[in-house]
Amino acid sequence: MPMNVSPAGIEAIKQREGFTPTPISDGARQEIGYGHDILPGENIPSPIDEAAATQLLEDDLVPVATVINDSVSVPLNQNQFDALASFVYNIGASAFRNSTLLKLLNLGDYAGAAGQFGRWNMSGGRVNAGLVARRKSEAAQFTSPVADVSTTATS
């Protein structure tokens, strides 16, 4: 059954991306909201509010979830899926499909896959402190257990 990014996963991505109400440029592209790439001809009012930015993010995560569901052949818990969604949202589908992280994951080497997050820390040919922190956060999310509410005791 296909998985989707959880509300907690969306909140984690929002934290990692940060909110910008007006377009910012990294030289190659423009972003607004929570890391939404503004496409040529796309008319997004500026400044954007957080509700509109959240909707853009949720829309952007639909194809991200599809990429993960189509590419990963081993079972994932929700934290693993959400961490991968953050990763794919940041690096892109093509890079993910060709990554050692995905290859190791599909071999069932979850620990090896988790260790790959940190390798994606470069921007412009240099180690980027923001990406180092993001990858550390994604790896921690990937390796953290999900609470099983079905075993919670009731009185």
Domain range list for the chain: 7-143
Contact present, 76 and 82 (Cβ < 8 Å): no
The three-state secondary structure class of 41 is coil
Residue 58 is among the residues annotated as catalytic for this protein? no
Q: Which residues of the chain have pLDDT under 50?
A: 149-155
Residue 131 parent element (H or E): helix 129-143
- Among residues 17, 42, 58, 138, the one annotated as catalytic is 17
Give the pTM.
0.92
Residue 97: its pLDDT value, please? 98
Beta strands, E only, the chain: 20-25, 30-33, 36-37, 122-123, 126-127
Residue 148 confidence (pLDDT) = 52
Please name the residue that has the structure tokens 């997050």: 117
Q: How far is CA 79 from CA 45, 69, 128, in A?
A: 33, 14, 24
The model's pLDDT over 135-151, given as tens digits with 9 standing for 90+, comes to: 999 999 999 987 654 43
What CATH class has 7-143?
mainly alpha
CA angle 145, 147, 150 (to 5 degrees): 140
